[in-house]
């Protein structure tokens, strides 16, 4: 028998030993959520609940496997019949058994994302949609629109109007494609990932005997990360729990930060309303952070009105107060961050125990450059390096042509952006230009268009027009920001919207690129700097660096990507109003509170050191130099009734930094 009182703290023990019924477990950051879930499953098995009568729903199969492996160590029983895995995994299991009830065969195929996009492309052609005229989304964007509508339980018109307003004029065409896509899937016995959830719910609603069978079978249901569930996932769990009502959901409303991908914050907040007899447990004992860091985090999240009241308590001994670091500008902020990392590393903290977090990818642009200059190796967990992103490289390819008309790779990259031009045609175009001796001049000639087929000439002609205008502006000594803006406005913005689902963030990246380019006196200097930024090995290390710093790497990540992780040192950059919270995010319903939850998540990633950094000035070619104020999330951190001093100290950045 497991000695639960010895293995668990009092809060965890209450959860694990509870007999049953609806349970809402509010598991604060670093409070041992996974441990509690694991021991709960072990307890159920130990008390005689057969594994096949337990359903464990997680967001990754890895998390489920980890928990079940630990359960096997605690209770040596066969868990092969326990249903544990992602929502999609569990839904797939039931749909295979009952597919005929929904008009599918049991051998239905599952479309992965790439397969789904290809089928949508086929549907666009079959529907006779005109994609040459007004802006129309490409297949991957269409897939994103349809998926978002499913996961937010919204109709297409609402999804397009709120998230993709620049496609509102093509709504009826999008509807046609969506209807044909659904028809083709049914005809071909296909389900995509979203269908696994939709059809799972449909199966339970339309087939009472199936619902009765599984509702009877699953005596206990456990749901991890409940704050991240969407409406469909929550409805499915409620249906399955309708017989025994032994449903335990575990999550933290203070860490609900994924509304943009369909997570429904109302699920966790309304759980006590759906289950009036539910017991609410709070895991507030934090094993990760110092009391000082938790004090700041608690003070911050208290400002959210829509939440369950809770306060994290530290197990660890007192440490240092978090530090607020105002810098003169983004460059000085980056210099401080790099210098502080070097100092902490000299004090014995490994680089991999340090993380630089940010709200948006472009907030780390100057930081990436400064780390590169100093030979500090880093790994980006939020995607690829800023200057290596596709949309950044697309736009800078135009500038590279101006700077060096013999840049074959830049030419071919731009040709690839033109409709109906593939790699072979791009090669022919480059051969034509290279043989001319004057590629830039040759690209403006009428016979240049004759290299490609008639169907491809329209896109190439448009490129010519952009190139002509770009050259004229360059000759007239237009600024680099103006040149970049011209590229964006003369066609690339349309390409962005048709090609990517995250258009808003990519447009912000390009705006920041334009602003950044204004720091350079010449195109040559700007392009040289970009080249130096990408002069790295595949693992992200500076080729010139060769000291012991190469043994590990500083982590760079958005706050979203950092959830669930922890580091000894966290440096949160861009803690200025308009950055954290992000200006466009607070304009949405519930936006400010979700942004505050992001700030809370960032703060609670830190174990020992927390630095909140922000630039005091910013430059915009539209408004010139502007003063920035510290984030409202910093300004609202006033002394509490218990502690009269500020929950942080201020540092003044030395000028040599």
- Tell me the C-alpha distance between 555 and 380, whole Å: 6
Domain boundary among 507, 535, 563: 535
CA dist 174 and 145 (Å) reads 9
Query: What is the chain's mean pLDDT, rounded?
Result: 91
Task: Report yes or no on 655 lying in a domain.
Answer: no
Residue 459 among known ligand-binding residues: no
Q: What is the model's pLDDT at position 119?
A: 95
Question: Could you tell me if residue 383 is inside a domain?
Answer: no
Say if residue 423 is in the same domain as residue 531: yes
The verdict on 522 and 454 lying in the same domain is yes
E strand or H helix that includes residue 95: helix 87-98
383 belongs to an annotated ligand binding site:
no
In terms of DSSP bridges, do strands 624-627 and 617-620 run parallel, antiparallel, or are they unpaired? antiparallel
Residue 181 placed within a domain = yes
Write the DSSP symbol of residue 606: E
User: Is the predicted pLDDT of residue 409 greater than 70, yes or no?
Assistant: yes
In this prediction, residue 537 carries a pLDDT of 36
The rounded distance, in Å, linking the Cα atoms of 199 and 196 is 5
pLDDT at 515 (0 to 100): 85
d(CA 339, CA 362): 20
Q: Could you tell me the sign of the dihedral formed by the alpha carbons of 443, 447, 450, 451, in that order?
A: negative
**209-255 pLDDT, tens per residue?**
999 999 999 999 999 999 999 999 999 999 999 999 999 999 999 99
Same domain for 427 and 530?
A: yes
Alpha-carbon span 591 to 256, nearest angstrom: 12
489 DSSP assignment: I
Domain membership of residue 197 (yes or no) is: no
The answer to whether the beta carbons of residues 431 and 516 sit under 8 Å apart is no
Structure confidence at residue 471 (pLDDT): 85
pTM of the model: 0.85
Asked whether residue 101 is domain-assigned, the answer is: no
Residue 193 is assigned to a structural domain of this protein: no
Burial status of residue 333 (CB atoms within 10 A of its CB: 0-12, 13-18, 19 or more): buried
Domain count, the chain: 4
Kind of pairing, strands 109-110 and 323-327?
Answer: unpaired
607 marked ligand binding residue? no
Instruction: Give the three-state DSSP class for 570.
Output: strand
Q: How many angstroms separate the CA atoms of 367 and 380, rounded?
A: 12
Last residue within a domain, chosen from 224, 258, 286: 286
Residue 29, annotated ligand binder? yes
CATH number of the domain bearing residue 426: 1.10.486.10
Residue 76 DSSP code: -
> 277 with 402, same domain?
no
| Contact present, 208 and 237 (Cβ < 8 Å) | no
Q: Does 506 reside within a domain?
A: yes
Element (H, E) at 8: none
**What letter does residue 490 receive in the DSSP assignment?**
I
Q: Which residues contact 205 (CB under 8 A, 6 or more apart)?
A: 211, 239
Residue 540, in any domain of the structure: no
pLDDT for the residue numbered 271: 98
Pairwise pLDDT comparison (652 vs 600), residue with the higher score: 600
Confidence of residue 656 (pLDDT cuts 50, 70, 90): low
Higher per-residue pLDDT: 403 or 347: 347
Q: Which residue has the higher pLDDT, 562 or 543?
A: 562
CA-to-CA dists, residue 104 to 99, 186, 508, 519, angstroms:
5, 7, 44, 60
Co-location of 504 and 637 in the same domain: no
pLDDT at 530: 78
pLDDT tens column, 111-165: 988 899 999 999 999 999 988 767 899 999 999 999 999 999 899 999 999 999 9
Nearest Cα to Cα of residue 483 among 508, 452, 513: 513
* Segment 65-117, tens digit of pLDDT: 899 999 999 998 999 999 999 999 999 999 999 999 999 999 999 998 889 99
* Contact in structure between 237 and 12 (CB atoms under 8 Å): no
Q: Which residues pair with 250 in a beta bridge?
A: 25
User: What local confidence, expressed as pLDDT, does residue 641 receive?
Assistant: 64
| Separation between Cα atoms, residue 351 and residue 348, nearest integer Å | 9
Q: Which CATH number goes with the domain that contains 215?
A: 3.40.50.300
How many percent of the chain have pLDDT more than 70? 95
Tell me, yes or no, whether 400 and 500 share the same domain.
yes
536 pLDDT tier (thresholds 50, 70, 90):
very low
Peptide bond into 639 cis (omega under 30): no
Q: Same domain for 175 and 34?
A: no
Q: Residue 138 CB: number of other CB atoms within 10 A?
A: 19
Predicted pLDDT at 623:
63
- Residue 28 assigned as binding residue: yes
**Is 590 annotated in some ligand binding site?**
no
For residues 397-414, average pLDDT:
90
pLDDT digits (tens, 9 = 90+) for 288-317: 999 999 999 999 999 999 999 999 999 999
Residues in contact with 6: Cβ distance below 8 Å, sequence separation at least 6, in sequence order: none
Q: What are phi and psi for residue 481, nearest 5 degrees?
A: -55, -35
User: For residue 505, what pLDDT is reported?
Assistant: 86
Give 353's DSSP letter: G
**Strands 554-558, 378-380: parallel, antiparallel or unpaired by DSSP?**
parallel
Spell out the residues 6+ positions from residue 463 whose beta carbon is closer than 8 angstroms to its own. 414, 415, 417, 418, 491
Last residue of a domain, which of 160, 188, 216?
A: 188
- Tell me which residue range forms the domain holding 125: 109-188
Within this chain, do residues 77 and 124 fall inside the same structural domain, yes or no? no
Given a cut of 90, whether residue 490 has pLDDT beyond it is no
Quote the CA–CA distance of 173 and 434 in Å, as a whole number: 42
Catalytically active residues, by annotation:
33-34, 224-225, 255, 605
Cα 392–Cα 144–Cα 419 angle in degrees, nearest 5: 55
Q: Are 218 and 83 in contact (CB under 8 A)?
A: yes
Residues 6+ apart with CB under 8 A from 561: 381, 382
Query: What is the structure's pLDDT at 459?
Result: 87
The rounded distance, in Å, linking the Cα atoms of 180 and 128 is 11
Which 3 state secondary structure label does DSSP give 496?
helix
Q: In which band, very low, low, confident or very high, does the pLDDT at 621 lie, cut at 50, 70 and 90?
A: low
pLDDT grade, residue 263 (50/70/90)? very high
- Is the confidence at residue 539, as pLDDT, over 50? no
505 and 420 fall within a common domain: yes
| 171-185, 379-393, 482-496, 633-647 — most confident range | 171-185
Asked if residue 85 and residue 144 are part of one domain, the reply reads no
Q: What sign results for the dihedral spanned by CA atoms 618, 624, 627, 633?
A: negative
Residue 414 shares a structural domain with residue 527: yes
Residues 504 and 627 in one domain: no
Cα-based distances in Å from 71 to 8, 41, 49, 86: 15, 7, 14, 18
Query: Is pLDDT of 535 > 90?
Result: no
């Amino acid at each position: 028998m497991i000695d639960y009182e010895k293995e668990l703290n009092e809060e965890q023990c209450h959860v694990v030993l509870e007999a049953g019924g609806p349970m809402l477990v509010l598991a604060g950051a670093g409070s041992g959520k996974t441990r509690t879930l694991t021991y709960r499953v072990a307890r159920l098995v130990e008390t005689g609940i057969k594994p096949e009568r337990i359903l464990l729903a997680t967001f990754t199969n890895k998390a489920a496997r980890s928990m079940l492996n630990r359960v096997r160590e605690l209770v040596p029983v066969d868990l092969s019949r326990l249903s544990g895995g992602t929502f999609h995994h569990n839904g797939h299991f039931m749909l295979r058994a009952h597919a005929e009830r929904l008009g599918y065969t049991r051998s239905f195929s599952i479309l992965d994302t790439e397969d789904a996009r290809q089928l949508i492309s086929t549907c666009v052609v079959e529907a006779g949609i005109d994609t040459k005229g007004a802006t129309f989304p490409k297949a991957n964007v269409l897939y994103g629109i349809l998926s978002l509508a499913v996961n937010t339980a919204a109709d297409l018109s609402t999804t397009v109007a709120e998230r993709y307003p620049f496609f509102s004029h093509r709504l009826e065409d999008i509807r046609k494609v969506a209807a044909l896509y659904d028809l083709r899937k049914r005809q071909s016995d296909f389900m995509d990932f979203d269908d696994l959830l939709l059809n799972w719910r449909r199966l339970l609603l339309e087939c009472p005997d199936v619902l009765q069978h599984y509702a009877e079978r699953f005596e206990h249901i456990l749901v991890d990360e409940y704050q991240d569930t969407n409406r469909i996932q929550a409805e499915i769990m409620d249906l399955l729990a309708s017989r025994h009502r032994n449903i335990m959901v575990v999550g933290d409303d203070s860490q609900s930060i994924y509304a943009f991908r369909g997570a429904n914050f109302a699920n966790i907040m309304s759980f006590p309303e759906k289950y009036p007899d539910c017991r609410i447990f709070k895991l507030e004992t934090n094993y990760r952070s110092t009391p000082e860091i938790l004090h700041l985090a608690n003070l911050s999240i208290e400002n959210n009105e829509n939440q369950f009241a809770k306060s994290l308590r530290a197990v660890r001994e007192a440490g240092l107060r978090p530090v607020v670091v105002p810098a003169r500008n983004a460059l000085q902020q980056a210099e401080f961050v790099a210098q502080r990392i070097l100092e902490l590393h000299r004090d014995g903290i490994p680089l991999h125990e340090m993380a630089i977090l940010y709200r948006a990818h472009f907030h780390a642009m100057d930081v990436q450059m400064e780390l590169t200059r100093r030979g500090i190796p880093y790994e980006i967990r939020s995607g690829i390096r800023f200057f290596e992103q596709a949309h950044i490289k697309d736009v800078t390819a135009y500038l590279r042509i101006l700077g060096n008309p013999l840049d074959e790779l830049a030419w071919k990259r731009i040709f690839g952006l033109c409709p109906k031009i593939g790699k072979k045609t791009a090669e022919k175009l480059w051969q034509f230009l290279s043989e001319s001796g004057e590629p830039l001049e040759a690209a403006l000639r009428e016979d240049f268009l004759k290299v490609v087929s008639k169907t491809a000439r329209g896109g190439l002609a448009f490129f010519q027009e952009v190139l002509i205008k770009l050259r004229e502006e360059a000759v007239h000594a237009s600024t680099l920001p103006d040149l970049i803006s011209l590229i964006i406005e003369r066609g690339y913005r349309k390409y962005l919207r048709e090609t990517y689902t995250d258009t808003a963030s990519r447009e912000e990246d390009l705006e920041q690129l334009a602003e950044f380019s204004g720091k350079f006196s010449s195109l040559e200097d700007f392009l040289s700097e970009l080249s130096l930024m990408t002069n790295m090995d595949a693992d992200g290390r500076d080729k010139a660096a060769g000291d012991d710093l190469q043994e590990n790497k500083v982590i760079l990540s958005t706050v979203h990507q950092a959830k669930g992780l922890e580091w000894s040192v966290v440096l949160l950059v861009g803690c200025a109003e308009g950055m954290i919270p992000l200006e466009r995010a607070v304009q949405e319903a519930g936006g400010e509170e979700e942004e505050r939850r992001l700030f809370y998540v960032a703060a609670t990633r830190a174990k020992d050191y927390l630095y909140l950094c922000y630039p005091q000035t910013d430059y915009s070619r539209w408004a010139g130099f502007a003063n920035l104020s510290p984030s409202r999330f910093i300004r609202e951190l006033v002394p509490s009734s218990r502690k009269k001093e500020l929950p942080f100290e201020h540092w003044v950045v030395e000028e040599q930094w």
